[in-house]
Structure 1
Amino acid sequence: MRRFKRTLVAAALATSVMAGTAGWAAGSRQAAVTGPPAGTAAWRADRSLHRQLPDPATAPPAGVAAFFDSLTPARQHELAARHPLVVGNLDGAPLPLRYEANARAIAAERAAARARAADPSRPDRDRRAAREQADRCTRLLAPGRQILAFDPRGRGQLAEVYGDWAAARRTAVVVPGSDIDLTTFDRARDRYGTPAGMAGALRAEMARQAPGTPGAVIAWAGYTTPVGLGPDAATGRLAQAGAVRLERFLAGLRTPHAPAVFCHSYGSVVCGLAAHTLDAGEAADLVMLGSPGVRAGSAAGLRTGARVWAVRRNGEDWIGDVPHVRLFGLGHGADPTAADFGARLVSSAGAHGHTGYFTPGSQSLRNLAGVALGSYTPER
């Protein structure tokens, strides 16, 4: 009974913190973007190869990989040209082909955005948003960028590769938390709290520590994230949808070197829900940073073949003020940095705030790169 009362008090406090920090109204309810992208109907109807193309909704990544391996390069490029949004987001397809397809899809989105911006019948607000979208697309088309996923539906989803994934011997994937979408993926403000900033900084630090070891990092913003501190951030609804997408994404990377997966804030909830599907071949490490909980009571409870790490919060991270409870659908459970959780701890010395773990020059970033390189010694 005493334990139950403590749980009720903690749940009430969690609600108070959420409401008091920014207010429930600060977070709008988001519709999770799931399922295959636009253009899937045309892909399913395509009989140009005189065979059924793998269904983007149901074909496992290994089956998709086998299908593309059976095609000549010319046939692969033809499919990418006819169905860029499908091929660009098809887990299991060759990565260079996905880069090519996404460049086509982004160019098409830019053309459509420019047309909307030039349409005098549209309200000024819509035309301004269209111009901003066209500008974003132009930045994504800059030489050297490797866009691994691009889906403009809803708030937009994106994944980008930093480095040569095929040649890399040490790899990592960054899974971000709330308020990340196509518009904030690589914003200039709070840069090292964005997927692009985190991934870029991590790859640079990996190269600094191990210049003779080829490395690559993916920034994966491939799910619908919560906006603000509303109910979406306190429940697992969006994380459940994101976990399914993360599972498929990791399974489709086709690499002999399983990545370390860095899961920040609400992204750690996504990773926690996906963990039981990941063996050591799909994720060598799961690293929870600034986590509100991972919907498991312990590292063993994640039932994963990956090593589980947690970044010790510094005193400035506001996530430390949110009680780690789970009750009536609210909250995400135990603190992964707690001693009885059983994760390997990573020091966050030098980091500041909730989004400072990847700040260049910090001991925190050096330690995270050490985890990705397999050279970091845990605190316990």
Structure 2
Amino acid sequence: MLAVVMFIASANAALSGVAEGFVMHEPVNVIQNVVSSEPATPLDAGLDRRGPAAESPRMVAFDEAALNRIGGMSLLRGVSQLSPREIIRYAERNPTELDAVRDARIAPSEVGAWWLSTPGQAQAALAEAAPQLLGSLDGVPAAVRGPANERALQRAIVDTRERAASGIGKGERRRLGQQQRMLEAISGALESKPGEPERTLLEFDERESGRAVIVIGDLDTADYISYLVPGMYFSVQQQIRDWTDTAASLAVEQLHWLQDQPQGDGPPRVATVAWLGYQTPDLLTIGSLELAEHGADALESSWQGIRATRGERQPYLTVLAHSYGSTAALIALERHSEQIDALALIGSPGSATQNARDLGVAGDNVFVGEARWDPIVDTAFYGSDPGSPSYGAVRIGVGGGVDPLTQKELAGSVGHNAYFAPGSESQRNLALIGIGRGDWVTDGGTLPPGTMLATAR
């Protein structure tokens, strides 16, 4: 009996705090002691069976209405203290409340601490019953989020097909067709090519035009992590495959440079992130910074999630941001809520910050690339020109030439969209920035083409 009282007390303590936007006027008792003469039924086959095979005959019931009134981190804590069967039942009955948690801005450090304190059986139940929720939480390890998001993706594909085959109107059928193509594009982008690291679906949101973040490599163990942040006109349906292939090509380039640099048990490990975690603008919205602000929020949370899950073994974290994506990254780094190790701005229209020293980037590791005939560079459209001498960023070579280390021919980038082209001087330099070898980057300023920064200094 004492154990039951202690369980009820701890559950109420987790649920009785003031949640986001909700004021409690009286104690909320969401968990009640119920005596049953029947033992609990076995857990689903997909759940972790390392714990007890069945629950105690003294079962747990809960007040769904009380849970639904709190939300956010408090809801996560409350649900995780239920039995696995009750977690599954709650998720089936309350998808709207769980979607609200997906949209809540919960500190990744809090999420990480919650996940570590959640019992294994409850973790397995959440992964089975609420994969979309679990996969959305920055602060949960990528090894957990990836399978959860892939499960959610497959369920969304099946659900969309079934709804499209039912008796619906023409407009709804057209909308579902677009959603189906978006979901299938994500599924296709997860297929690794020979010689590439494995791909993981770190983030997935099936709503509206969708969001997807795909990692190439192991985010939980990589020594170097590079985020690729795109600009305008990028949609999940149209670009997720190509953007993921671009990130994979960069990862292969980085591994090539690192193969002769053993560290511990072998060469250092890399992970690149094809980040489409925000809605990019079109011609109607490009004049506003609203979407860039949303992108900055999502980037901050994602970076903080890595910091929370990696503990004492932190990676070298780089952001390679293009066009409007560079503005989103700059806004995030202006806030100084998180520091990264290196930043490369390519084809950038700038931001309010006028000097690289005012960004949350370690050392002097801010780089800028500007290609010939790129109509966006030098415009200072959002307030600053990262390519100007007064900004203080290091200019990298993007015009092509001969690699000073390998003597290979490097292609030049022309226009606004060729910075990540395989075999280009630009891609070479971006790959090196991502593994902390900015000294090997070729200069894009006044020095002769192909001059390495290390030589210039």
TM-score class, shorter:
0.7 to 0.9
**What does 1:151-300 align with in structure 2 at a 5 Å threshold?**
151-187=205-241, 191=242, 194=243, 196-211=244-259, 212-227=267-282, 229-230=283-284, 232-253=285-306, 254-255=309-310, 256-278=314-336, 282-300=339-357
Q: Which residue identity is paired with 1:369?
A: A
For residue 264 of structure 2, what is the aligned residue in structure 1?
Answer: none
> Partners of 2:363 and 2:101 in 1: how far apart?
29
> Partners of 1:306 and 1:76 in 2: how far apart?
40
**CA, structure 1 residues 72+258, in 2 after alignment: closer, same or farther (shift >3 Å)?**
farther
TM-superposed CA distance for 1:127, in Å, is: 5.5
**CA, structure 1 residues 334+48, in 2 after alignment: closer, same or farther (shift >3 Å)?**
closer
For residue 185 of structure 2, what is the aligned residue in structure 1?
Answer: 136
Q: Which residue identity is paired with 2:214?
A: E
For residue 149 of structure 1, what is the aligned residue in structure 2?
Answer: 203
For residue 375 of structure 1, what is the aligned residue in structure 2?
Answer: 437
Q: Which residue identity is paired with 2:184?
A: D
Matched, 1:342 2:392: yes
3-state SS, counterpart of residue 262 of structure 1: strand
3-state SS, counterpart of residue 316 of structure 2: coil
For residue 360 of structure 1, what is the aligned residue in structure 2?
Answer: 422
TM-superposed CA distance for 1:314, in Å, is: 1.7
- Residues 35-71 of structure 1: CA distance to partner in whole angstroms, max 9, x if unpaired? xxxx996993863514999965243111111111123
**What does 1:16-165 align with in structure 2 at a 5 Å threshold?**
44=75, 47=79, 49-50=81-82, 57-123=104-170, 125-126=174-175, 128-133=177-182, 135-136=184-185, 138-139=187-188, 142=191, 144-165=198-219
**CA, structure 1 residues 172+138, in 2 after alignment: closer, same or farther (shift >3 Å)?**
closer
TM-superposed CA distance for 1:247, in Å, is: 0.7
TM-superposed CA distance for 1:72, in Å, is: 3.8
Normalising by structure 1, what TM-score?
Answer: 0.77
For residue 28 of structure 2, what is the aligned residue in structure 1?
Answer: none
TM-superposed CA distance for 1:197, in Å, is: 3.2
TM-superposed CA distance for 1:184, in Å, is: 2.4
Is 160-169 or 301-310 further displaced after alignment? 301-310
Normalising by structure 2, what TM-score?
Answer: 0.65
> Partners of 2:110 and 2:274 in 1: how far apart?
24
3-state SS, counterpart of residue 147 of structure 1: strand
TM-superposed CA distance for 1:262, in Å, is: 0.8
Q: Aligned-pair RMSD on alpha carbons? A: 2.9
For residue 315 of structure 1, what is the aligned residue in structure 2?
Answer: 372
Contact 2:347–2:371, Cα closer than 8 Å, also in 1: no
> Partners of 2:182 and 2:152 in 1: how far apart?
13
3-state SS, counterpart of residue 252 of structure 1: helix
TM-superposed CA distance for 1:300, in Å, is: 2.3
Contact 2:101–2:133, Cα closer than 8 Å, also in 1: no
**CA, structure 1 residues 277+296, in 2 after alignment: closer, same or farther (shift >3 Å)?**
closer
Is 235-244 or 68-77 further displaced after alignment? 68-77
- Residues 72-106 of structure 1: CA distance to partner in whole angstroms, max 9, x if unpaired? 44332211222111111101011111012101210
TM-superposed CA distance for 1:159, in Å, is: 0.5
> Partners of 2:190 and 2:216 in 1: how far apart?
15
TM-superposed CA distance for 1:136, in Å, is: 2.8
Contact 1:117–1:126, Cα closer than 8 Å, also in 2: no
Is 120-129 or 74-83 further displaced after alignment? 120-129
Structure 1: segments with no counterpart, 5+ residues: 1-38, 325-330
3-state SS, counterpart of residue 418 of structure 2: coil
3-state SS, counterpart of residue 297 of structure 1: coil
> Partners of 2:364 and 2:119 in 1: how far apart?
39
TM-superposed CA distance for 1:240, in Å, is: 1.1
TM-superposed CA distance for 1:185, in Å, is: 3.3
> Partners of 1:266 and 1:70 in 2: how far apart?
39
> Partners of 1:352 and 1:341 in 2: how far apart?
23
Q: Which residue identity is paired with 2:394?
A: R
- Residues 306-333 of structure 1: CA distance to partner in whole angstroms, max 9, x if unpaired? 644233312132213x622xxxxxx311
TM-superposed CA distance for 1:198, in Å, is: 2.9
Q: Which residue identity is paired with 1:222?
A: G
Contact 1:225–1:238, Cα closer than 8 Å, also in 2: yes
3-state SS, counterpart of residue 215 of structure 2: strand
TM-superposed CA distance for 1:203, in Å, is: 0.6
3-state SS, counterpart of residue 288 of structure 1: strand
Structure 2: segments with no counterpart, 5+ residues: 1-67, 88-97, 193-197, 260-266, 400-411, 444-452
**CA, structure 1 residues 204+174, in 2 after alignment: closer, same or farther (shift >3 Å)?**
same
TM-superposed CA distance for 1:213, in Å, is: 2.2
Tell me how many residue pairs correspond in the alignment: 326
> Partners of 2:419 and 2:269 in 1: how far apart?
23
> Partners of 1:209 and 1:342 in 2: how far apart?
27
